[in-house]
A = this chain, B = another copy of it.
Amino acid sequence: MSSNPLSVIMHPRSIVVAGASNNMMKMGAMHAMNLLYGGFRGDVLFLHPSEKNLLGRRAYASAAELPYVPDLALLVTPTRVTPGLMDELGARGVRHAIVVTAGFREMGPAGAQLEAELLAAAQRHGIRFVGPNCIGALNTHIGFNCTMIPYTDKPGRVGLISQSGTYVAQTIPYLREVGVRYSQAISVGNAANIDLVDCLEHLADDPETHAIAMYIEGVRDGRRFLAAARRIAPKKPLVALYVGGSAAGARSSLSHTGSLGRPDTLMDGIFAQAGIVRATTVDEMFGWANALANMPAPQGRRVAVLTHSGGPATSMADAIERIGLEMPEFSPPLQAKIRPFVAPTASAKNPVDLTFDLGNEGFTKRIPEVLFASDEVDAVLIHGMFDTGFALEVHKLVGGPAGVPEEDFVKPFMYDLEPLLQMPGNSGKPLVASNFLRVDHAAETFRDRGVPLFRTPEAAVRGLHALVQYGRLRERLSGAVEEHAEAPQGPRLESGVMNEFAAKRLLAAHGVPTANERLVETLDDALAAAAAIGFPVALKGLPAGVAHKTEAGLVHLNLRNKSGLQAAWKKIEKAAPGCPRLVAEMLAGSRELVVGMTRFPGFGPCVMLGVGGLFTETIRDTAFRAAPVGLADALSMLESLRLKKLYGPVRGLPPVDAELLARIIQAVGKLALAHPEIAEIDINPLIVVDGRPVAADALIVVE
């Protein structure tokens, strides 16, 4: 058995519930009733200081009286008694718990003190626990549900880890309706002991969980999270909804699970690096996880669209193009294979639009057979079919007045979907569907059999895109060579702002191309250096400890001749007498980047690539990755910039040497790992000279 405590917590054979009452409108009673009547086959014991009977069963007055040591304790007790109870349970031998009780860290300092006591009590006995301030957990494959909402659907394939209890329990009726089924779901609450990463590692090993959804308001141990996700993602798809990035979101989250918010852009980068598909809404999180749990990732971007309806076909085509997928027109041979199954007036080109054509086996069998078998198609999208949902509507008109019972009327409309359901598995290509009808044999069959079914054509396209994204992330991760964070440490650098020349020499030593430049002491040296480098040159003064030289009048660019250099020399002499000076070539390039490094709590050194130049701060087009950055990840950073096209072959300029840029990004990451005392690095601007990025200025701040 795994050493992960969740392997016991999520598979308990016996549970003791503390905090239940006979008032069925209290949370404790609801949680307990789910255990009693939710299909759980293990034993349930009750603990209560005064009640002798709870919900028709004997209640024990203390842990000591329990007839045996249960696998798991569920605590829904008043806050102040919880630490003491944990101690009592530990003394009886209990080693695993879920603490639903709230009122801890999320309530401020007094609550945080209580939470510390709770944790200390648990640690005294080696108890591992989920919570506090959580809603409980479910393992649908063993009927284990200790939340307060019943789970009445079949066991499923989607694992959920959530920092909000609402998204575990109150969404259950919603999930039943949209056809998303949990394998397991865990509300992590304040994560005083068992955290997000423990849950992730547990679900990674759960054979019933085929994809993992995460609702995240904040990540505390960023490096551990990243490492775990990178290990898991190539084998099991991960989807995350992250909402802790905005100021308002962070404030609200503080009042909720006490997590600290992380900047949104950092998490974008971390998710990309970890191989996590990022959802933007709750329904995307669930819908995409369901698609990923049930369908293979496509090998390419070419989508075939099959429908009866022109409007949805156009909506899908539009959404496909916007999101960066492709809906290629089929080759004449492929069209010829489809043609026999569509009306003469219908389109076989892609979208295949059968128009109003009832009861056509072509739609559900013959055409899909052709599409799934074709090497022109990577994925199939279906919108709508005239199955029983349509028939039910029509029956209201023609069946009712004609006196035909609904059931008889509807029956001929029941498509045999079995062949279609086999095609994704047989071909390795995904099938994704949308349908405006919910009460419908086809819709119900899709939901039941794991065909991702979205409500609108656009949502189906986005769901398919999540599969494409996962395929790409997996490919990048699989190709990536692991680089170790434990780089050899360099000799400690002196504290303070390193001067530009020294900073660039350090970067150059790590392989960053820098401008041709010389440190000079006299004007004659400067003139000689300029002659050797060739005009125009830049002259910069480098007094110790100045981070922003331009503002201090210490930077003079584009000096075209001796007299210009002499004039600049004098100005620097006036601004900072006797300071070291740098004569540097003027780099000629119209495109600029910025590469930098900063440290985030929990994530350590993170490297940034951004659009550079005068307006870097205004444009705010950046990508982050945690160091060390693998080559594939570094390459992906340029791809993730909104204005990435700037750095392609534009207006006669060569594309940026992406591999060299990636090496620079990697070098900055390695430098930060080798020198934990470096707080920040800025290479700004990194000027693109004939496609080659060269550091024109650099700043390194040492703590």
- Residues A590 and B614 in contact, CB atoms below 8 Å apart: yes
Q: How far is the CB of A190 from chain B (nearest CB, A)?
A: 12
29 A-B residue contacts at CB 8 Å? A27-B356, A30-B397, A33-B398, A38-B397, A102-B345, A148-B394, A152-B396, A164-B312, A164-B314, A172-B393, A177-B438, A241-B315, A243-B315, A243-B318, A246-B321, A248-B326, A249-B318, A252-B313, A255-B310, A255-B349, A256-B314, A281-B456, A281-B458, A282-B312, A282-B315, A282-B456, A618-B643, A618-B645, A619-B646
Tell me if A24 counts as interface (CB < 8 A to partner B).
yes
- Residues B393 and A456 in contact, CB atoms below 8 Å apart: no
Q: How far is the CB of A661 from chain B (nearest CB, A)?
A: 18
Instruction: Tell me which residues across on chain B come within 8 A of A488, comparing CB atoms.
Output: none
Instruction: Tell me which residues across on chain B come within 8 A of A327, comparing CB atoms.
Output: 248, 252
Q: Of B149, B248, B436, which is within 8 A of A171 by CB?
A: B436
Q: Mark A157-173, 1 if CB is under 8 A from B, else 0.
A: 00000111111001111
- Give Cα A318–Cα B400 distance, bound, in whole angstroms: 49
Q: Of B247, B257, B310, B394, which is within 8 A of A164 by CB?
A: B310
- Residues B401 and A252 in contact, CB atoms below 8 Å apart: no
Tell me if A389 counts as interface (CB < 8 A to partner B).
yes
Q: Specify how many copies of this chain sit in the oligomer.
A: 2
Tell me if A34 counts as interface (CB < 8 A to partner B).
yes
- Residues B34 and A253 in contact, CB atoms below 8 Å apart: no
- Residues A457 and B282 in contact, CB atoms below 8 Å apart: yes
- Give Cα A318–Cα B174 distance, bound, in whole angstroms: 22
Instruction: Tell me which residues across on chain B come within 8 A of A590, comparing CB atoms.
Output: 614
Tell me if A347 counts as interface (CB < 8 A to partner B).
yes
Tell me if A651 counts as interface (CB < 8 A to partner B).
yes
- Residues B257 and A310 in contact, CB atoms below 8 Å apart: yes
In the complex, which residues 638-694 of chain A have their Cβ closer than 8 Å to any Cβ of chain B? 643, 645-646, 648, 650-651
- Give Cα A393–Cα B398 distance, bound, in whole angstroms: 36
Tell me if A1 counts as interface (CB < 8 A to partner B).
no
Tell me if A92 counts as interface (CB < 8 A to partner B).
no
- Residues B166 and A310 in contact, CB atoms below 8 Å apart: yes
Interface residues, chain A, with chain B CB atoms under 8 Å away = 24-25, 27, 29-30, 33-34, 36-38, 102-103, 107, 148-150, 152, 162-167, 170-174, 177, 215, 217, 241, 243-249, 251-253, 255-257, 280-283, 309-315, 317-322, 326-327, 329, 345, 347, 349, 351, 353, 355-356, 358, 384, 389-390, 393-394, 396-398, 400-402, 436-439, 455-459, 590, 614-615, 617-619, 643, 645-646, 648, 650-651
Instruction: Tell me which residues across on chain B come within 8 A of A255, comparing CB atoms.
Output: 310, 347, 349, 353
In the A-B complex, the 6 residue pairs with the closest CB atoms: A164-B311, A256-B310, A249-B318, A246-B321, A166-B309, A174-B436
5 A-B pairs besides A243-B318, A246-B321, A253-B310 with CB distance below 8 A are: A243-B317, A255-B349, A282-B315, A618-B645, A618-B650
- Residues A313 and B398 in contact, CB atoms below 8 Å apart: no
- Residues A249 and B321 in contact, CB atoms below 8 Å apart: yes
- Residues A397 and B314 in contact, CB atoms below 8 Å apart: no
Q: How far is the CB of A381 from chain B (nearest CB, A)?
A: 13
- Residues A170 and B29 in contact, CB atoms below 8 Å apart: no
**Given A215-B311, A311-B166, A402 contacting B24 (CB threshold 8 A):** yes
- Residues A389 and B173 in contact, CB atoms below 8 Å apart: yes
Closest chain B residue, CB of each to CB of A650: B618
**Given A164-B314, A327-B248, A456-B281, A396 contacting B215 (CB threshold 8 A):** no
- Give Cα A390–Cα B643 distance, bound, in whole angstroms: 47
- Residues A393 and B251 in contact, CB atoms below 8 Å apart: no
- Give Cα A338–Cα B104 distance, bound, in whole angstroms: 23
**Given A102-B345, A152-B396, A174-B455, A313 contacting B256 (CB threshold 8 A):** yes
Q: How far is the CB of A185 from chain B (nearest CB, A)?
A: 13
Closest chain B residue, CB of each to CB of A384: B170
- Residues B615 and A245 in contact, CB atoms below 8 Å apart: no
Q: Of B24, B245, B251, which is within 8 A of A329 by CB?
A: B251
Closest chain B residue, CB of each to CB of A255: B347
Instruction: Tell me which residues across on chain B come within 8 A of A243, comparing CB atoms.
Output: 314-315, 317-318
- Residues B253 and A396 in contact, CB atoms below 8 Å apart: no
- Residues B164 and A309 in contact, CB atoms below 8 Å apart: yes
- Residues A393 and B351 in contact, CB atoms below 8 Å apart: no
- Give Cα A174–Cα B456 distance, bound, in whole angstroms: 10
**Given A311-B215, A347-B255, A393-B173, A458 contacting B615 (CB threshold 8 A):** no
